[in-house]
Amino acid sequence: MRIFVNIMQKKKKIIVAITGASGAIYAKLVLDNLLKLSAQIDKVGVVMSDNAKEVWRCELGNDDYDRYPFTFYAKMDFNAPFASGSAKFDTMIIVPCSMGTLGRIANGISNDLISRAADVILKERRKLIAVVRDTPFNLIHINNMKTVTEAGGIICPASPSFYSIPKTIEAVAQTVVSRIIDLAGLEDESYRWNED
Ligand SMILES: Cc1cc2nc3c(=O)[nH]c(=O)nc-3n(C[C@H](O)[C@H](O)[C@H](O)COP(=O)(O)O)c2cc1C
C-alpha cells in the first residue's frame, strides 16, 4: 500500500545541506519554500555545517533554523538515512555551497554527512543541486565545479537576476531560490520571463 501511495503521489524526499558560505538568506528561503510546498514533499532532512550556523547567526541575526519542522541531522551523523543510497532520497540541495564543501565533493572526500550524502546522490545518479557562492573563483573552484558537473551534479550559482525588478533583499534572493525550486522538480508559481 505504501509503495502504491508513493508511486501515485511521487512525493519527493529532499536533503537540504547548509554550509558556511555567505548567503544564509538563500538557505532560509529554501526552507520557507519547502514548507510552503509540503504537499509535494514526503520528507525533508536538513544538515548544517558548523560554519553554516555561524554565518546564519552573523547574516540573519538569529538561530531560527531550529524552528523549522524538518528533521535535522548532526554533521557527523552517518546513521542519517541519506548516508546510504537505500533510503532513496531523490534530491539534494546544498545551499549555500562553500568552496570547501564543493572541493570535498569533487574529490570524493566523504568525511562528513554533507559530503557523504552528496557522494551517495551522485553514485545513485540522483539530483544534486549545489548553490555555490564565492567571488571571484580561482581555477581550483572552477575545476571542482567542472568535476561535479561531469559527475552529474548541477552547479546553480547564487547569482540573482534583476529582470523581475525585485524590491527587497528577500525578493532578490528569491530569484535564485525560485530556480532551485524549479531544478528540484517542484511546482510553484514564480516570476516567468515574458509570461502574464
Ligand atoms: C561570514 C562568513 C562568510 C563566508 N563566506 C564564504 C563564501 O561566500 N564562500 C566560501 O566558500 N566560504 C565562505 N566562508 C568560509 C567558509 O565558512 C569556510 O571555508 C568553511 O571551512 C567551509 O566549511 P563548510 O563547507 O563545512 O561549511 C565564509 C565564512 C564566514 C565566517
On the question of pLDDT at 1 being above 70, the answer is no
| Closest-lying ligand 1 atom to the alpha carbon of residue 99 | 11
Share of the chain above pLDDT 90, in %: 90
Whether the pLDDT of residue 3 is over 80: the answer is no
Q: Whose CA is nearest to atom 28 of ligand 1?
A: 21
Fold of 13-183: Rossmann fold (3.40.50)
- Mean pLDDT computed over 68-90: 96
C-alpha cell at 91: 534530491
Among 4-13, 71-80, 99-108, 123-132, name the one with the lowest average pLDDT: 4-13
Q: Where are the domains of the chain?
A: 13-183
Q: What region does 156 belong to: left with phi over 0, alpha with psi -120 to 50, or beta?
A: beta
Express each pLDDT in 93-135 by its tens digit. Answer: 999 999 999 999 999 999 999 999 999 999 999 999 999 999 9
Q: What is the pLDDT of residues 126-166, one digit of tens each?
A: 999 999 999 999 999 999 999 999 999 999 999 999 999 99
Average the pLDDT over 37-50 and give the result.
Answer: 97
Pocket test of ligand 1: the residue of 18, 49, 55, 137 to mutate, having most ligand atoms within 8 Å of its CB, is 55
CA angle 192, 34, 164 (to 5 degrees): 25
Under DSSP, the state recorded for 188 is: -
Q: Three cell numbers at 61?
A: 541575526
Please give the pLDDT value at position 25.
98
Which ligand 1 atom lies nearest to the CA of residue 19? 27
